[in-house]
C-alpha cells in the first residue's frame, strides 16, 4: 500500500527531527571541522541503514509528497550545507572559498544518498562515506587532504 501524502509528511518530519538531533550530537562530540563532519556522515549512514522504509520515505518519496514535505526535506539539506560551509572557518581566508562550494558538495552528497537508497540501504557503506568526505573536504583543503579522507577508517575500526 502506498503511503498518503500526510503519512509521508509525518514520517519525514519525525525522521528529520531525529536525524538533526543525532547529527547535532555527533558534530558536537568531535573537535575540528573534518572530524565533526565525518562524525555526522557516519551518524547519517547509521540512521539511513536502520530503517529502509523510513529512508525511502525521507529520500525517495519526500520530493513528490507535497510542499510541506519538500520544505521539511529542504530544512535537512540546508542544515547539511551549513555544516559543510563551516569548513571555510578553518581557512586563513574564509572568503577564498565561496559558499557555493558547500551547496555543491551538499547536492552531490544528497544525490549519492538518493542513489544509494534507491539501490537499497545496504549499498550505503563506509566506502561511500569516505568518498563523500573527499568531496566535502576538497574545496577547503585541496587534493592531498581530501585523498587522506579515502584512507580514514570508520570510528571504532
Domains of the chain: 5-149 (1.10.357)
pLDDT given for residue 65 in this prediction? 84
pLDDT at residue 63, rounded to an integer: 82
Contacts of 34 (CB under 8 A, 6+ apart): 87, 90, 133, 137, 141, 145, 149
How far apart (Å, rounded) are the C-alpha atoms in residues 88 and 79? 15
Which residues have C-beta within 8 Å of that of residue 153, sequence separation ≥ 6? Answer: 126
Give me the pLDDT at residue 62, please. Answer: 85
If we measure between CA atoms, which residue out of 41, 43, 44 comes closest to residue 58? 44
Question: What pLDDT is recorded for position 26?
Answer: 94
What's the pLDDT score for residue 73?
84
Write down the pLDDT at residue 87. Answer: 96
**pLDDT single digits (tens) 19-73:** 989 999 999 999 999 999 999 999 999 999 999 999 999 999 888 888 888 888 8
In this prediction, residue 155 carries a pLDDT of 80
Residue 26 near residue 129, CB atoms below 8 Å: no
Question: In 2-125, which residue ranges form alpha helices assigned H by DSSP?
Answer: 5-28, 33-50, 52-56, 67-85, 100-119
**Which pLDDT score, from 0 to 100, does residue 76 have?**
83
Amino acid at each position: 500500500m502506498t503511503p498518503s501524502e500526510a503519512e509521508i509528511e509525518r514520517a519525514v518530519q519525525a525522521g528529520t527531527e531525529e536525524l538533526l538531533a543525532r547529527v547535532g550530537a555527533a558534530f558536537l562530540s568531535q573537535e575540528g571541522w573534518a572530524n565533526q563532519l565525518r562524525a555526522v556522515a557516519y551518524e547519517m549512514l547509521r540512521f539511513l541503514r536502520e530503517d529502509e522504509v523510513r529512508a525511502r520515505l525521507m529520500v525517495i518519496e519526500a520530493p513528490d509528497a507535497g510542499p510541506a514535505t519538500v520544505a521539511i526535506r529542504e530544512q535537512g539539506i540546508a542544515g547539511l550545507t551549513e555544516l559543510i560551509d563551516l569548513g571555510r572557518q578553518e581557512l586563513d581566508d574564509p572568503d577564498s572559498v565561496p559558499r557555493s562550494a558547500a551547496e555543491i558538495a551538499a547536492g552531490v552528497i544528497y544525490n549519492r544518498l538518493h542513489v544509494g537508497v534507491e539501490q537499497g540501504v545496504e549499498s550505503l557503506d563506509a566506502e561511500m562515506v569516505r568518498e563523500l568526505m573527499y568531496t566535502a573536504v576538497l574545496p577547503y583543503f585541496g587534493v592531498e587532504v581530501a585523498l587522506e579522507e579515502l584512507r580514514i577508517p570508520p570510528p571504532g575500526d
